[in-house]
């Protein structure tokens, strides 16, 4: 391990010491992989356009394949022809890619910029550095939104996670993601399990059954989604009363489209999204990828991204610099999942747990769903 990191570090030093490497040593074309839509747009505006201004000869190609990045990278690797240079994935996928040896290990000290006040990148990102290959970019959360016009008369609007399981007070359909992650945690939480014991309980057969039994109480009223755009659509059509999705999607439904929908931040689950660099890139493309990463994950750039989308920057030093939405002109800070008002009760996606239990619990969950 020692030996490979030396190798990586030496490449990184060569790149990160600005000016030591001339532009000729770097590839002048770069393929970035992202999610498409508003999110990719925020990256184009905040990272790619300023970077392109600094490197006018560079050609940036976008590929909207993050959804299948893990499978595609594996196929590319087996074919011996990896065409991607920097890939945007969620942290859980980054961990998988790292385990499969498909992503390059990174050294934050060497490869990422310091904060303006001199704090090292490692401290600035802190706990966000999940696994050995992941370069964090944003914090997003999976949380609930509900139709304000479907709240029964004389009842307080839903404000707690357990209101999702309360069909008597809040009758109507719910939209939940068609996978066990998050749903199992919420179910246990509302079945009387203490927050810090959730994963201990979920590691047992009985705990898994307990979570499924709790979900069974609302199963008939759930529409299961598999695409992040489903819940916003279902809410906008009035198909569901409340539904879980990514907070940025709800922001767009509420603020950009003006639908009668409100956020319910309780028990939101934080997750991370960021970059990985595929393993074994040729030298010139690696130099370009590292150069871009160094630029695109510095404090200012991460803060800039929040102008275009309501996801929190992964660096601590970026938080105070978050300003207003570029088009709507509203303050973005209160819409960030990390805002103190929103994050009174939160969960952090447990990467280690789900890396182990994902296949097992998913088999049970899908069997339960189909039954």
Partner 1 sequence: MSDGTTDPKTVDAPKADDPRDQAKAADNVDKDGRMLSADGTPLKRSLARALRVQKMRALMLIAPLLIFVLVTFIAPIVDMLFRSVENQIVSNTLPRTVASLSDWDASQDGAPGEEVFENFYYDLFIAAEAKEHTRLGSRLNYEQTGLSSLFRGSGRSVDDVGEEQIDALEDLNEAWEDEAFWYELMTGGENSAPTAEPLDIQRGMLERLTGDNFSGDVGFLPGSAITRVLPRTVNQYAAFALFTVFADEDVVAEEEPWEAVKVALIQELQAGADLSEYDGPGAEELRAAQEMLADQPQIAFKDAFIEMDEDWGENANWRTIQTYSPELTEGYFLNAIDMQKGIDGAEPRPENQQIYIMLFQRTLFMSLVICGSCILLGYPVAYLLSNLPMRTANLLMILVLLPFWTSLLVRTSAWKVMLQQQGVINDVLVWLGLVDDFGRLVMINNQFGTIVAMTHILLPFMILPMYSVMSTIPPSYVRAARSLGATQWTAFWRVYFPQSVPGIGAGSILVFILAIGYYITPEIVGGTTGTFISNRIAYHISSSLNWGLAAALGTILLAAVLILYWAYDRIVGIDNVKLG
Cα gap 332→336, rounded to integer Å: 7
The answer to the question of residue 71 lying near partner 1 (CB under 8 A) is yes
Per CB under 8 A, the list member of 223, 321, 326, 348 interacting with partner 1 is 223
What is the spatial distance between Cα 271 and Cα 228, in angstroms, rounded to a whole number?
14
Phi-psi region of 205 (alpha: psi -120 to 50; beta: other; left: phi over 0): alpha
Nearer to partner 1, 74 or 307 (CB): 74
Complex with partner 1: residue 225 or 294, whichever CB lies closer: 225
**For partner 1, which is the closer residue by CB, 330 or 363?**
363
Looking at 238, 307, 321, 348, which residue binds partner 1 (CB under 8 A)? 238
Closest to partner 1 by CB, 331 vs 360, is: 360
- For partner 1, the closer CB: 28 or 367: 367
Task: Give me the 87-106 binding string for partner 1, x by CB under 8 A, dash otherwise.
Answer: ---------x-xxxx-----
Which is closer to partner 1, CB of 329 or CB of 371? 371
Least spacing, CB of residue 67 vs partner 1, in Å? 8
Structure tokens at 277: 């660099």
Three-class secondary structure assignment of 208-259:
HHHHHHHHHCCHHHEEEECCCCHHHHHHHCCCCCEEEEEHHHHHHHHHHCCC
Pick the binder of partner 1 from 63, 74, 107, 262 (CB under 8 A). Answer: 74
> Which one, 150 or 296, has the nearer CB to partner 1?
150
Query: Footprint of partner 1 on residues 330-369 (CB under 8 A)?
Result: 352, 355-360, 362-364, 366-369
For 68, residues 6+ apart whose C-beta sits below 8 A from its C-beta are none
Q: Cα separation of 22 and 15, whole Å?
A: 9
Q: How far is the CB of 149 from partner 1 (least distance, A)?
A: 13
Minimum distance of partner 1 from residue 343's CB (angstroms): 27
Closest to partner 1 by CB, 177 or 304? 177
Rule CB under 8 A: say whether 68 interacts with partner 1: yes
Contacts of 27 (CB under 8 A, 6+ apart): 85, 282, 284, 285, 287, 288
Determine the interface stretch with partner 1 among 68-76, 251-259, 295-303, 342-350 (rule: CB under 8 A).
68-76
Nearer Cβ to partner 1 (220/341): 220
What is the C-alpha to C-alpha distance for residues 261 and 26, in angstroms, rounded to an integer?
Answer: 47
Contacts of 250 (CB under 8 A, 6+ apart): 143, 145, 232, 261, 263
Instruction: Write out the two tokens for 153.
Output: 């008369």
CA distance 156 to 170: 10
Among residues 62 and 368, whose Cβ is nearest to partner 1?
368
Report H helices in 17-90. Answer: 37-43, 49-54, 69-79
Task: Give min distance, CB of 239 to partner 1, in A.
Answer: 6
CB 272 within 8 A of CB 131: no
Please list every residue from 116 through 155 that binds partner 1, using CB under 8 A.
Answer: none
Q: Mark the segment that binds partner 1 (CB under 8 A) among 53-61, 63-71, 162-170, 251-259.
A: 63-71
Which window, 29-37, 43-51, 221-229, 257-265, contacts partner 1 (CB under 8 A)? 221-229
Q: What is the rounded distance in angstroms from the CA atom of residue 232 to the CA atom of residue 193?
A: 30
- 38 burial via Cβ count (<10 Å: 0-12, 13-18, 19+): middle
Binding mask 163-192 for partner 1 (x = CB under 8 A): ----------x----x--------------
Please give the residue ranges that form the binding site for partner 1 (CB under 8 A).
Answer: 1-4, 6-7, 67-68, 70-71, 74, 96, 98-101, 173, 178, 209, 223-224, 226, 237-239, 352, 355-360, 362-364, 366-371
């Amino acid at each position: 391990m020692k030996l490979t990191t030396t190798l990586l570090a030496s490449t990184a030093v060569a790149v990160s010491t600005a000016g030591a490497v001339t532009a000729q040593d770097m590839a002048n074309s770069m393929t970035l992989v992202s999610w498409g839509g508003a999110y990719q747009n925020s990256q184009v505006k905040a990272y790619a356009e300023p970077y392109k201004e600094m490197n006018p000869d560079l050609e940036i190609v976008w590929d909207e394949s993050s959804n299948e990045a893990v499978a595609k990278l594996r196929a590319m690797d087996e074919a011996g022809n990896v065409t991607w240079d920097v890939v945007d994935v969620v942290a859980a996928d980054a961990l998988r890619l790292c385990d499969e040896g498909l992503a390059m290990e990174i050294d934050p000290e060497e490869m990422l910029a310091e904060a303006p006040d001199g704090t090292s990148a490692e401290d600035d990102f802190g706990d966000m550095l999940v696994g050995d290959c992941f370069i964090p970019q944003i914090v997003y959360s999976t949380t609930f939104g509900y139709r304000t016009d479907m709240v029964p008369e004389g009842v307080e609007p839903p404000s707690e996670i357990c209101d999702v399981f309360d069909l008597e007070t809040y009758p109507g359909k719910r939209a939940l993601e068609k996978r066990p992650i998050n749903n199992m945690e919420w179910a246990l939480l509302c079945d009387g399990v203490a927050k810090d014991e959730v994963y201990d309980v979920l590691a047992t057969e009985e705990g898994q059954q307990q979570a499924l039994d709790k979900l069974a109480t609302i199963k008939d009223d759930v529409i299961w989604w598999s695409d992040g755009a489903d819940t916003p659509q279902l809410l906008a059509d009035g198909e569901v009363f409340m539904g879980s999705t990514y907070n940025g999607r709800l922001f767009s439904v509420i603020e950009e489209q003006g639908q009668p929908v409100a956020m319910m931040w309780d028990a939101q689950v934080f997750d991370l999204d960021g970059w990985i660099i595929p393993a074994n890139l040729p030298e010139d493309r690696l130099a370009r990828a590292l150069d871009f990463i160094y630029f695109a994950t510095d404090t200012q750039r991460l803060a800039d991204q929040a102008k275009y989308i309501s996801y929190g920057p992964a660096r601590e030093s970026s938080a105070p610099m978050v300003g207003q939405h570029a088009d709507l002109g509203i303050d973005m800070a209160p819409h960030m999942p990390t805002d103190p008002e929103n994050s009174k009760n939160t969960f952090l996606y447990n990467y280690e747990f789900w890396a182990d239990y994902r296949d097992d619990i998913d088999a049970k969950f899908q069997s339960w769903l189909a039954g």
